[in-house]
Every structure is written in C-alpha cells, then in structure tokens.
C-alpha cells in the first residue's frame, strides 16, 4: 500500500452526493453518519450486512450489501479506506467516470474545516488519548465533536457531532494519512518504529512526524517529554514557530506527572502545570494511561479549557472497547481483552495487568497482526510476552497482507519460548485458543487476550466454557 498524500480539502457541503465504499467499517461509518446529520446525500456499500448498516439507514443513508458499479448512482464524491483495493468495482467505476475519489482521512478532514481541530497521533496510545481528550473537553464544557478509533465504554459510541468549536480525531500514522487533518493542535504520544511495510524504514517513519509538526495549519504541538523519538521533534517544532507543550514524568515537562500510584483498577498522580496543580485520578490502570491523560490535559489547555475542570473530568473516563476491556469474572478467573499489537504495547498492557493479578497468575493469549510486523518484531514480541506466567500464541491475523514464506505465529512462540521455556503454547487457529486456555486457567488467574485481529472472540468463548465448568483445574 502506498502512503496517502495530503490533498486540498473542500467543505462537506460542496462535495455533492457522497458514496462510501466499505461504509460499515469502524473508521468509515462515523464519517458517513456525520455527513448524513449535516444534510449531505449519502450512500454506502459493504461486503456484509451488519447492525451498523441498519443504524446508518435510520439516519437516511442508502446502504447496499455487496459491491456493484451500479450502486454509485448519482454520486459526485466517493470515499474509500486503505482496505479498499483498486479492483473494487465501485472504485473502478468511480475512476472511470472521473468522480472525486477521496481517502477516508480527507473525508474526515473536510468535517474539521472551520473547527478547532485536535489530532492525536503517535505509535502507541492514539485511541485512548483521543478518547480521553474528548471526555476531558466534554467535562470542561466544550462539547467537542470527535471521531476516535474505538467506542467509549461509557457510551458505546466512537463519534459525536458536538456544538462546540473543537473537533478531536485519532490520526492514523500507519499510512501517512495523519498529515491530512487540518488540526490546530497536534498531539504526538510517542514514536517507535512500526508500519515499515508502508514507510520502508524507521527513519522515513519518523520523518512523517517531522513533516507533521512543521505543517502550516499547526499552531500547538503537544508531545512527550519522556520519549526519545518525540523529544527529537521539539526543536523542529519550535524552529517552525509552533508552541510546544510537553508532558510526562521528566523534570522539564510542561505538564509534569509525579507521585504515581496504582490503587485497585485505577491510577493516580500529581499533575503540575505552569498555572495549575492537583491530583489526576483515573478509573483505568497503568502508568501509560496517566501519560495519556496528561497528553489529553495538555491538549485541552491548548484549546483554552480550565485545568481544574480537565483534571476533574479525567476521573469520569472509563476506557474504550478493546483497551484492557473487562470480559468476565468466571470460575475465579478475570478475563480482559486488549488491542495491543506492537511489542511495546504488549509489554505495557502486561505490566499493568501484573499489578492487578494479586496471588494468581497472569495468562496471555496473543494473536500476531500482519506478516510484516511479525517478521520484523518476533524477538521483541517474545520478550514482551515473557512477562506473563503462561502464554498462548496464535497464528497470524493477516489483515490487508498476503502471506510471506517462512513467517508464521511460530516465530513469536519460539522467541517467547527462548525467554520463558515451558510456559509457551502454540495454536494455529482461533478455534483452538479457548480450549487451550481452559486447560491452563486456574481460579485466581488474570487472563488477557491481545491483538488487533479477531482474538477478541476468544475471551467470551473462554468465559462461556469456564461458566459451564469446562476446566480441569
């Protein structure tokens, strides 16, 4: 897949009738819904029926199951995601007719025109930080619009069209589309090599962030004072005339965290800024979530929200789906599900989970995501997974990629076994995962399923099997 290059945007009202290909996707459906709410004629297709299509239809969107060139109708603009291949008959027909074809990021960027955009990006923590930013701004009375990568646990929604000026978006760096958003405030959580299938090298990946902080539309850059990759951006942003706000535990951070503590299922720290200081209390665990909250706080201050109201609002954040999401407490075992799909994310999640285990064991079930990422980081995944007491590794979830000879989930399992001998169990298929876990899990254990694919199905199935007594322990 080629990197997405920024284009000149038009207001949503000037796009005419808009057709979305793969409209049922988590990243596409919120945009289509907002277009419909704004009175734009909207249609869309998806390869399979789903409740999402019904929800869109209730908003007036013409929905189609399957892809056919005739479904374009009188569309003037076609919006696609990175997952849509050039062979899609609707995309091919749109190009044949010379219609305006935009990437999803441009469709979302058009919604931000005339608003005070806040774009959250970085290698890790984008979804949680963007969701936190939306919650903090709402708690401070800003009523922001937002589109984030996963539904908020409290509302079940990943989007909201607010009455306020602020518009918060999760900005995906994987395909370069984070450069498309007309954001006034850019938040960069951290930078670590990833998505090399698109960017080629770690250096080129980092250069995308440097390009972002130098963009003309950016006024404020919020970035980590703790992360080496983001610290490298600070002089670049200042040289480009941007206001820089740093966050973290570093002594020179503008928004500084100190006295971190981790009460049951939560996290707490003192937060100190130039004109505000006080406790930051979260209902979600992990030091990484305190850093995410500090970033969200800094973004809120850049928009002009009072610090004390932002800190108070942080306590109301209860997480997003698939970010250390509770699945069940069955037969004495607690089950969580997490989207972690990079070694650093896996290590952070398991470290946070370790603090909640108590006298039991930590059991990890990991599904590698992408052949290229597995090839590039197998050893690092193995080291991260070794933080668990028992490890189940699945076959690779390929997503958009074709297989690479010699690359399988066994690379990760073998790497983990080299660090944690006797504690690693490999199963190739998803259907084998829950039975394998049943044979491992004991009362008092904490189980975490990890990965960006369909491993999220494993936790509920494990809970079901444990509930009917299907366990030897």
User: Which positions are catalytic?
Assistant: 126-127, 170
β-pair type (333-338, 325-330)? antiparallel
Is residue 83 left, alpha or beta, with left meaning phi > 0 and alpha meaning psi from -120 to 50?
Answer: alpha
- Please give the biggest Cα pair distance in the chain: 65
Q: Helix (H, G, I), strand (E, B), or coil: what is residue 334?
A: strand
Axis-axis angle for helices 29-37, 51-58 (nearest 10): 10
Lookup: tokens for 232:
């490298």
- Residue pair 269/301 in contact by the 8 Å Cβ criterion: no
Other CB atoms within a 10 A radius of the CB of residue 448 amount to: 25
**Distance between CA atoms of residues 27 and 29, nearest Å:** 6
- Residue pair 231/208 in contact by the 8 Å Cβ criterion: no
Nearest residue to 464 (alpha-carbon basis) of 327, 365, 322, 362: 327
Q: Helix (H, G, I), strand (E, B), or coil: what is residue 54?
A: helix
How far the first Cα of the chain sits from its last, in Å, is 47
Nearest residue to 139 (alpha-carbon basis) of 126, 152, 121, 122: 152
Other CB atoms within a 10 A radius of the CB of residue 115 amount to: 18
- Residue pair 190/230 in contact by the 8 Å Cβ criterion: yes
Lookup: tokens for 313:
């609002």
Helix, strand, coil percentages (3-state) for the chain, rounded to 5, are 35, 25, 40
**Distance between CA atoms of residues 48 and 85, nearest Å:** 16
Nearest residue to 292 (alpha-carbon basis) of 459, 398, 148, 178: 148
Count of helices and strands (H, E) across the chain? 16, 21
**Distance between CA atoms of residues 134 and 143, nearest Å:** 8
Helix (H) or strand (E) holding 213: helix 202-213
∠ CA 98-102-106, rounded to 5°? 150
């Amino acid at each position: 897949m080629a990197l997405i290059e920024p284009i000149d945007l038009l207001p949503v009202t000037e796009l005419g009738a808009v057709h979305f290909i793969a409209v049922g996707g988590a990243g596409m459906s919120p945009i289509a819904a907002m277009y419909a709410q704004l009175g734009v004629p909207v249609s869309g297709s998806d390869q399979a029926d789903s409740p999402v299509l019904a929800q869109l239809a209730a908003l007036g969107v013409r929905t189609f199951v399957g892809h056919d060139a005739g479904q374009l109708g009188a569309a003037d603009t076609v919006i696609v995601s990175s997952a849509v291949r050039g062979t899609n008959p609707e995309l091919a027909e749109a190009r044949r007719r010379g219609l305006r074809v935009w990437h999803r990021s441009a469709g979302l960027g058009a919604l931000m025109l005339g608003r005070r955009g806040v774009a959250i990006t970085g290698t890790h923590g984008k979804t949680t930080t963007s969701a936190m930013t939306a919650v903090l701004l709402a708690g401070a009375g800003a009523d922001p619009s937002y589109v984030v990568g996963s539904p908020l646990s409290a509302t079940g929604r990943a989007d909201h069209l607010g009455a306020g000026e602020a518009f918060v978006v999760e900005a995906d760096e994987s395909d370069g589309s984070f450069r498309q958003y007309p954001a006034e405030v850019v938040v960069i959580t951290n930078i670590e090599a990833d998505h090399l299938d698109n960017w080629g090298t770690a250096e080129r990946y980092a250069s995308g962030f440097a390009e972002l902080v130098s963009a003309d539309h950016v006024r404020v850059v919020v970035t980590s004072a703790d992360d080496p990759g983001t610290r490298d951006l600070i002089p670049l942003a200042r040289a480009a005339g941007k206001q820089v706000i740093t966050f973290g535990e570093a002594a020179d951070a503008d928004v500084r965290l100190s006295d971190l503590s981790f009460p049951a299922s939560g996290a707490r720290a003192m937060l100190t800024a130039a004109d505000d200081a006080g406790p930051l209390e979260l209902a979600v665990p992990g030091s990484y979530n305190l850093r995410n909250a500090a970033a969200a706080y800094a973004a809120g201050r850049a928009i002009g929200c009072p610090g004390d109201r932002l800190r108070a609002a942080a306590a109301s954040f209860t997480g997003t789906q698939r970010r250390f999401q509770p699945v069940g407490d069955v037969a004495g075992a607690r089950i969580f599900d997490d989207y972690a799909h990079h070694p650093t994310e896996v290590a952070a999640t398991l470290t946070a989970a370790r603090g909640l285990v108590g006298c039991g064991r930590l059991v990890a079930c990991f599904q590698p995501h992408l052949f290229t990422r597995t090839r590039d980081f197998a050893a690092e995944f193995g080291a991260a997974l070794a933080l668990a007491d028992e490890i189940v590794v699945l076959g690779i979830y390929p997503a958009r990629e074709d297989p690479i000879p010699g690359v399988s989930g066994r690379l990760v399992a073998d790497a983990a076994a080299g660090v944690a001998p006797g504690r690693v169990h490999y199963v190739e298929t998803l259907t084998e995962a829950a039975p394998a876990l049943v044979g491992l899990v004991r009362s008092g254990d904490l189980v975490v399923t990890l990965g960006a694919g369909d491993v999220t199905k494993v936790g509920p199935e494990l809970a079901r099997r444990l509930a009917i007594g299907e366990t030897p322990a």
